[in-house]
């Protein structure tokens, strides 16, 4: 069976619709391979549209928070939670358990952690211990690389900085530390409209 013929069902994945909206400067943005970002609209309005069309969950990723060393978009989360009544995951700029508390106060159900977890892996343990694995989503911005055993490497700061971490090794460690979900973002496939990186998805699935 070729990759082109492989489906979510073949991988044993339950099909759920979870739009993931990248937000920067208060606007939803979209690019190709995490570059040349273009504004696509208001995050609250787009979240409401997806909700009304039957999305199962929603994810907001503040793609500039780590790079700009600032907090995430609390006001956007609050306004979205007032209009959208499905689980909401928010990532970007989450550096402490206090950040998780603030996000929950404004309506987030789960938090996504990427750069801060790589810089200090113990953060994953702290969030999982206090709020439970169901609250903790490990966000993985992954690209292909010949430098790692799996052929995939983890990046940080919105894909701008390449680490020395093998993507599968880091995902396995995060699960051991309490991550309840993995949000796998393929930089190579992002925005290309060529379909999912099914090889990457299959390898990650084998970890669970």
What span, in angstroms and rounded, lies between the C-alpha atoms of 193 and 201? 16
What's the pLDDT score for residue 157?
A: 85
138: Cβ contacts below 8 Å, ≥ 6 apart: 112, 113, 114, 117, 124, 171, 174, 175, 179, 181, 182, 183
User: Catalytic amino acids?
Assistant: 22, 141
What's the pLDDT score for residue 3?
A: 35
3-state secondary structure of 101: helix
Q: What is the residue-wise DSSP string for 105-142?
A: HTT-SEEEE-HHHHH-THHHHHHHHHH-GGGEEEEEEE
Helix (H) / strand (E) element for 40: namely strand 35-41
Q: What is the residue-wise DSSP string for 136-175?
A: EEEEEEEEE-TTSSSSEEEEETTTTEEEEEEHHHHHHHHH
| pLDDT tens per residue across all 208 residues of the chain | 333 334 445 555 568 899 999 998 889 999 999 888 899 999 999 999 999 999 999 999 998 765 555 566 899 999 999 999 999 999 988 999 999 999 999 999 999 999 999 999 999 999 999 999 999 999 999 999 999 999 999 999 888 899 999 999 999 999 999 999 999 999 999 999 999 999 999 999 998 6
What span, in angstroms and rounded, lies between the C-alpha atoms of 201 and 111? 21
What's the pLDDT score for residue 10?
A: 55
What's the pLDDT score for residue 7?
A: 46
């Amino acid at each position: 069976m070729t990759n082109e013929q492989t489906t979510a069902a073949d991988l044993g994945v339950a099909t759920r619709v979870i739009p993931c909206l990248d937000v920067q400067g208060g606007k939803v943005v979209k690019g190709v391979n995490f570059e040349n970002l273009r504004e696509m609209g208001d995050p609250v309005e787009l979240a409401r549209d997806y909700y009304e069309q039957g999305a199962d969950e929603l994810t907001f990723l503040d793609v500039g928070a780590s790079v700009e060393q600032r907090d995430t978009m609390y006001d956007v989360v609050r306004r979205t939670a007032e209009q959208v009544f499905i689980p909401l995951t928010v990532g970007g700029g989450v550096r402490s358990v206090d950040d998780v508390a603030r996000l929950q106060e404004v309506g987030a159900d789960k938090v996504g952690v990427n750069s801060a977890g790589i810089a200090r892996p113990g953060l994953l343990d702290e969030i999982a211990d206090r709020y439970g694995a169901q609250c903790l989503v490990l966000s993985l911005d992954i690209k292909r690389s010949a430098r790692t055993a799996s052929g995939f490497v983890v990046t940080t700061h919105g894909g701008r900085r390449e680490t020395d971490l093998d993507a599968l090794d880091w995902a396995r460690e995060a699960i051991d530390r309490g991550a309840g979900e993995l949000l796998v973002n393929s930089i190579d496939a992002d925005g290309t409209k060529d379909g999912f990186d099914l090889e990457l998805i299959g390898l990650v699935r084998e970890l669970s």
